[in-house]
Amino acid sequence: MTDLARRISNNLSEIRERIAAAAERSGRKANEITLVAVTKYVGVDEILALVEAGCQDIGESRPQELWHKVDVLSDRPIRWHMIGHLQRNKVRRTVPLAHLIHSGDSERLFEAINQFGQEESTNSRVLLEVNVSGDQSKHGFTPETLKELVPRLDRLTHVEIHGLMGMASLTGGVEQARLDFCRLRDLRDELQPRCPANVALNELSMGMSRDFEVAIEEGATMVRVGSALFE
Ligand SMILES: *Cc1c(COP(=O)(O)O)cnc(C)c1O
């Protein structure tokens, strides 16, 4: 094993232990939480080390980078997650590669994904990104927009909506993050009764390196962890 592989394998074990402990604190099982390893800062060698160590959910935030890595690693059993902003002109090339798109952040994007699905007779799996902290720089729907939008999503016949994705405020510490995650979970609970058949908000994708444990305590089913895996 190379030094790189050993370091990543150790980091992964440590993070899995922290996930399990946080799950236990919130009365859930570790296997109810999916760790998505975010590899936007690193290259193919690091992804290979993750896969060898048993982590097969890999997240990328830039479409071109995703295309490149999928191409190089096409013989590996990886579920790719698109977690960053997706422009509509990149839907056609990106959607077929992704197991799940976390960053469904505009009605026009959802329409483009649906259009692609109709043309190709395929369904795509997408989350609704919510700008839960209200940061100006962030993408995503406001909670108010979602309340109005969700009942109308039944017209997206080729999109399966599986849940919500959010990020905590960049300023403010872990306890501020907890409030943002709490707000996302409450929003999910509020939207649930208004969901049409193609929308089931079972997944809550929230929590990154600095705050994944509080995210799990507040109900995350998927955490997106990058830098902590590569330290
Ligand atoms: C980069 C990124 C992450 C991972 O961030 P870390 O702080 O490195 O864990 C998670 N989610 C999104 C959307 C990201 O862009």
pLDDT of residue 153: 97
- Whether residue 134 has pLDDT greater than 90: no
- Whether residue 108 has pLDDT greater than 90: yes
Ligand 1 center–CA 150 separation, angstroms? 26
**Digit-coded pLDDT (tens) for 32-82:** 999 999 999 999 999 999 999 999 999 999 999 999 999 999 999 999 999
Atom 12 of ligand 1: nearest residue by CA position? 83
Residue 84 CB–ligand 1 contact under 6 Å: yes
pLDDT of residue 1: 82
pLDDT above 90 covers what percent of the chain? 94
- Whether residue 222 has pLDDT greater than 90: yes
- Band (pLDDT 50/70/90 cuts) for residue 137 is confident
pLDDT of residue 133: 84
CATH number at residue 43: 3.20.20.10
pLDDT of residue 172: 84
Average pLDDT, the chain: 96
Mean pLDDT along residues 170-195: 94
Parent domain of 105:
3-230
Atom 10 of ligand 1: nearest residue by CA position? 224
Q: How many domains is the chain partitioned into structurally?
A: 1
Task: Out of 127, 224, 227, 231, give the residue to mutate to test ligand 1, the one with the largest number of ligand atoms within 8 Å of its CB.
Answer: 224
Mean pLDDT along residues 80-99: 98
Ligand 1, atom nearest to 209 Cα = 9
- Band (pLDDT 50/70/90 cuts) for residue 83 is very high
pLDDT of residue 43: 97
Ligand 1 center–CA 177 separation, angstroms? 14
- Whether residue 206 has pLDDT greater than 90: yes
pLDDT of residue 171: 84
- Band (pLDDT 50/70/90 cuts) for residue 178 is very high
pLDDT of residue 138: 85
DSSP assignment of the chain equals --HHHHHHHHHHHHHHHHHHHHHHHTT--GGGSEEEEE-TTS-HHHHHHHHHTT--EEEESSHHHHHHHHHHTTTS--EEEE-S---GGGHHHHGGG-SEEEEE--HHHHHHHHHHHHHHT--EEEEEEE--S--TT--SB-HHHHHHHGGGGGG-TTEEEEEEEE---SSS-HHHHHHHHHHHHHHHHHHGGG--TTEEEEEEEE--TTTHHHHHHTT-SEEEE-GGGT-
